[in-house]
Chain A
Amino acid sequence: MANGRDARVRAGRAVPRLKTGACFRLRRVRVEPGVKQSRAVLAAATLLALAPSSGAVELSGHLAFEPRGFTQSPAHPGQNRHGLSLAVQPELHHAFDDGRQSLLFTPFLRLDTADDGRTHFDVRELLYQRVFEASELRIGIGRVFWGVTESRHLVDVVNQTDLVENVDREDKLGQPLVNLTLIRDWGTLDFFVLPGFRERTFPGREGRLRSEPFVDTDRATYESGAGRQRVDHAVRWSHAIGDFDVGVAHFHGTSREPRLRPLPVCADGRPALTSGCRPAGAVLAPRYDVVHRTSLDLQATRDAMLWKLEALHESGPGGSYLAWVAGFEYTWFGIDESGTDLGLLVEHLFDGRGGNAPQPLENDVFAGVRLALNDEAGTDFLAGVIADVEGDATTLSLEASRRIGERWKVELEARAWIGVEGDDPMFPLQRDDYVQLTLSRFF
């Protein structure tokens, strides 16, 4: 948007930490929907049909055509050098009662030629919202964002990551929720009841940008006896005090980030332990723990400098740890006659679990440069590097976007992993450098 400030900073990130192992043929991985999608769609259709007739239902959304090419040949059988993807996300919105009440329905569908695991449907939003004088109520499936940093959204816990969409982890699955917001002079207090857990999506066996061995989402297990039916809770206080925007939250429930445990499998893909065969290989099985997580997000806005901090303390069956992302974003506004902005972003990413963390950014530095031309087409560039403080592993990313006319937009995204050694958690990605083009039509 204005200033290209909407340029979502998508620092390159990798898939979770992996154990090495052999690759085995398995039956096709089915994407497991966490909510009853067909029922959700039916409910949405009914709600919108029954919606009070005052005011029309507004339709918007986009359709994206997305070719992607990898610079190197694949490491595993069945994987492709190129892929073509089509994604559609319409949005139906209906407001009534003078805008105090509304219904929102946002389904999402991706079809992918190269990876069955990427072909998926999700209800991003199916939400009833009611606004009162000093409170707000939301019921349904929704998306909530918490946080201030750019390279990683550490404290953003309500929604599950839709990892097959992008390794940057910015895409999220719709979360069933009841959210009550109280707005007071001393800040905003949000209460969340989260019934129904969503499992993280992972690339399929034949998809690129996957771990080795690959994650078999059919083998997910839960600490909670209720499994996906466990009801999670969260509460968050947020406030703007002078130059500071602050948020403090507590979450108790099933962790959105699974630990990935190697599971021996037979030659036909069945678990070796239960079928009694001789193990012929392994898959990674997601394990979802129940955790207590307390987080802080803080931004100090001082002139052209934004100081940012996200920090959390989490405790679960594996013990407790601290993690943070801390840094700044500084912008030089109007570096030329036409009003181009140049931004510098630096962040330190730390995860107290170190080598045991189920994600690779345990002690890394992110540095990024953003160029916003502020022209009529909203042209934007963002180049970023994430480097391991203790090793040589480096992720490079480049993103560029530009509007064409009123309804089209073209985006370019490229990522590369360099200096990745065999024992590095990002090693499976070392042959997966890619360039992706997205052509979107907005309606």
Chain B
Amino acid sequence: MKAAMKALPLIALLAVALPPDAGAESPEEKGLAIAQEMDRRDRGWGDQRAKLAMILRNRQGQESRRAIRVSTLEVEGDGDRSLTVFDSPRDVKGSAFLSITHATKPDDQWLYLPALKRVKRISSANKSGPFMGSEFAYEDLTSQEVEKYRYKWLRDEALDGRKTMVVERYPEYEHSGYTRQIAWIDGEMWQVVRIEFHDRKDALLKTLTMKDYRQYAGRYWRPGLIHMVNHQNGKSTELRWSDYRFGTGLGERDFDRNALKRAR
């Protein structure tokens, strides 16, 4: 009841943001409309750069760390492009990963191996595999285009004092490790604050929490802390984002195979 009360202003907000017949829409239409609105609000940032510290914890609490830099280019009408450079662990220092994502067809991915100076095109079928031994799968870190999922609005509810919309989404792309994800979307920021991932057997696999959101360029919300807990193996991974920079003048040239070779 209380949740419903809190959701009232949100419904008012939706009424403004969505077409007038929003009230008559099905849960599926409403879920899609929410995803589209999230996408619309996060458009126009152009390019961004950020640093990432990844902290892996096993069941015994032992930690290991990775330091990564990520640049991303927004592409209108298709998926974004991103370049990921590894600084640690030191044996993979200088390795880099180029991803040209697409809304509907499979992504294009290349890996740069500094020991051989080799650029290798790799299969993007590996959606569900662990990224750098962490609890994040490749599909968790890739560009979240609207077309990649089907949606269903479940309910509006309060989560940690925030008004959120709860939307279930079903991967439409091939090779996903999930049957469904339940996402909690903050009604003010229009950003995801929590996701529950259900594996191929529909058992709860992982929970993602995104915190310490800050607004950049007066408009774009980005999390400072992302925490993924795997309920099945007891491990967790924390992502600490820092040094977000927007509109740094990156272009397509900074996201091709030549750029990958000299990324370091």
Contact = CB atoms under 8 A, between A and B. Distances in A.
B258 A181 contact: yes
B122 A443 contact: no
A334 B205 CA distance: 15
Interface in A84-98: 93
B90 A3 contact: no
Max chain A C-beta neighbours (<10 A), residue from B97, B111, B125: B125
B121 A301 contact: yes
A8 interface: yes
B227 interface: no
B97 A333 contact: no
A240 B257 contact: yes
Given A6-B113, A188-B258, A378 B177 contact: no
A377 interface: yes
A170 B116 CA distance: 8
A19 B120 CA distance: 37
A442 B88 CA distance: 10
A143 interface: yes
B146 to A, nearest CB: 23
Contacts of B125: 303-304, 331, 333
B119 to A, nearest CB: 8
Max chain B C-beta neighbours (<10 A), residue from A5, A303, A331, A375: A5
A442 B262 contact: no
B51 interface: no
A339 B138 CA distance: 12
Nearest to B96: A1
Given A333-B129, A374-B130, A376-B133, A6 B92 contact: yes
Contact of A301 (B86, B97, B123): B123
B95 to A, nearest CB: 5
Given A6-B113, A334-B129, A442 B91 contact: yes
B123 A331 contact: yes
Contacts of B113: 1, 6, 8
A287 B127 CA distance: 50
Interface residues of B, number: 50
Interface in A36-62: 60, 62
Interface in A1-29: 1-3, 5-6, 8
A236 interface: no
Interface in A125-176: 129, 131, 133-134, 136, 143-145, 147-148, 170
Interface size class of A (residues with CB under 8 A): 35 or more
Given A333-B175, A403-B91, A406-B65, A145 B123 contact: no
Contacts of B115: 6, 8
A183 to B, nearest CB: 6
A5 B129 contact: no
B108 A240 contact: yes
B106 A303 contact: yes
Interface string B100-122: 00000010100101011111111
A334 B128 contact: yes
B257 A442 contact: no
B262 A129 contact: yes
A406 B64 contact: yes
A188 B91 contact: no
A438 to B, nearest CB: 11
A376 B262 contact: no
B100 to A, nearest CB: 9
A334 B86 contact: no
Given A5-B122, A136-B258, A188-B258, A145 B116 contact: yes
A376 B123 contact: no
A338 interface: yes
Given A2-B97, A133-B253, A406 B88 contact: yes
Contacts of A303: 106, 123, 125, 174
A407 B130 contact: no
A245 B131 CA distance: 24
A312 B91 CA distance: 34
A402 to B, nearest CB: 10
A407 B122 contact: no
Interface in B231-264: 232-233, 253, 256-258, 262, 264
Given A145-B117, A188-B258, 11 more contacts: A1-B92, A1-B113, A62-B90, A62-B91, A188-B257, A240-B121, A303-B174, A331-B126, A333-B123, A333-B126, A406-B89
- The 6 A-B residue pairs whose C-beta atoms are closest, nearest first, are A442-B90, A376-B133, A304-B125, A333-B126, A145-B117, A145-B118
18 contacts: A6-B92, A6-B95, A8-B116, A147-B118, A148-B121, A238-B257, A240-B257, A331-B126, A333-B126, A337-B233, A338-B130, A339-B128, A339-B130, A341-B126, A376-B64, A377-B133, A407-B90, A409-B91
